[in-house]
Amino acid sequence: MKLPGILLFLLALICCRPAHAQDGAASLLDHYEEAREYCLELVNELRSDNGLPSVRLEPLASELALQHARDMAEAGYFSHWDMQGHKPTRRYNELGGMHGLGENIFFAEYQAGGWQRVIDEAMDSLEASSGHRATMLNPGYTDVGLGMAVNGSRVYLVQEFICRAGGNYACPLKARVGDVVSFSGQFDPKRYALNYILLRHEPLPELREQRWLNNTGTYSEGDTMFAVYTPHTERRFNVDTYYDVGLKDDGRIDARLLLDYKGKPGSYYVILMLHDTRTGGEVKAACVAIEVLK
């Protein structure tokens, strides 16, 4: 019998195999790499059917997915938040990643059945959910991390989709209110163009218990947008707007960002938005969650 538990934001299957794992879950762990490749194949079939390029399996994003799947399996919760109150972006940042990211998570219970059934039903559930389907079909994503974890008959699967629009990015992960920090990096100027950098704020994370976590749903990156940095001086926004963004012809970017939302501490999100000249859409190329204290 399958107990529903849909919430998916990137693909990750984690392994914690207890002594009494049931058939369905145990078979998944016995064929872990095959299951992961099969999941990637189904994601790319879905994208191909919708005219989108394939995503590549990415090691760091897969580590992120595995860690979160394992944490959920071991602690018995299901959420995009972890027990420290951190969301996917902060967890990814702490591993060294700063690319734009979207997470899908899935949970179900399997007493019997093969590993392919687990993956098939996980993908069916995710595709049936408009939000999860949109994540898998986001044309801006180029890579994905996959991870699975099992505890008894319970299976947890995580997908971490990322956008690699060029090179890597650099930004401090800790600061104080009123600090001016540097955000730098490089994107591919042959395909992308800089739109703007957003600054968003939300309260600092709190330790969370299982009951709170199991009642969560979708997540966002910051509650309030309070500043925009852009080189496009003709653009106007209804928040503080700064036009002094350093941008080179080779796609190198260097911006000095003021971290001060009403003098409040919190998680300050730095979000780099680029224009994709290939698709005509906008992509979240980078995202950093900075812990800002008084």
204-258 pLDDT tens trace: 999 999 999 999 999 999 999 999 999 998 988 999 999 999 999 999 999 999 9
pLDDT surpassing 60 at residue 55: yes
pLDDT surpassing 50 at residue 57: yes
Section 151-165 average pLDDT: 96
Section 140-154 average pLDDT: 96
- The fourth-level CATH superfamily of domain 23-163 is CAP (3.40.33.10)
C-alpha closest to that of 135 among 164, 90, 104: 104
Q: Give residue for tokens 């219970």.
A: 109
pLDDT of 23: 64
Each residue of 162-192: pLDDT tens digit? 999 988 999 999 999 999 999 999 999 999 9
Section 55-61 average pLDDT: 98
Q: Give residue for tokens 């966002």.
A: 220
CA atoms of 226 and 233, how far apart (whole Å): 18
pLDDT surpassing 50 at residue 2: no
Cβ contact 185:126 at 8 Å: no
pLDDT of 35: 95
Section 27-52 average pLDDT: 96
Percent of the chain with pLDDT over 70: 91
How crowded is residue 236: how many other Cβ atoms within 10 Å of its Cβ? 8
More confident residue, 28 or 106: 106
pLDDT of 14: 36
- Domain boundary assignment for the chain: 23-163, 167-293
Q: What are phi and psi of 81, to 5 degrees?
A: -85, 155
pLDDT band for 61, please (50, 70, 90 cuts): very high
What average pLDDT is seen over the chain?
92
The count of C-alpha atoms lying within 13 angstroms of the C-alpha of 114, restricted to the half-sphere facing its C-beta, is 6
Q: What is the CATH number of domain 167-293?
A: 2.60.40.1930
pLDDT surpassing 60 at residue 272: yes
Q: Give residue for tokens 């309030």.
A: 224
Q: What is the DSSP string of the chain?
A: -PPP-B--SB--B-----TT--HHHHHHHHTHHHHHHHHHHHHHHHHHHTT-PPPEE-HHHHHHHHHHHHHHHHHT---SS-TTS--HHHHHHHHT--BEEEEEEEEEE-SS--HHHHHHHHHHHHHHSHHHHHHHT-TT--EEEEEEEEETTEEEEEEEEEE--EEEEE--SEEETT-EEEEEEEE-TTTEEEEEEEEEEEPPP----HHHHHT-----S-SEEEEEE-S-TT---SSEEE---EE-TTSEEEEEEE--BTTB-EEEEEEEEEEETTTS-EEEEEEEEEEEE-
pLDDT of 18: 35
Whether the model pTM is above 0.75: yes
Percent of the chain with pLDDT over 90: 85
Section 141-155 average pLDDT: 96
pLDDT surpassing 80 at residue 7: no
Section 30-35 average pLDDT: 93
CA atoms of 79 and 105, how far apart (whole Å): 8
CA atoms of 250 and 194, how far apart (whole Å): 12
pLDDT of 146: 98
pLDDT of 25: 79
pLDDT of 10: 37
pLDDT surpassing 70 at residue 1: no
**CA angle 226–232–237, rounded 5-degree value:** 30
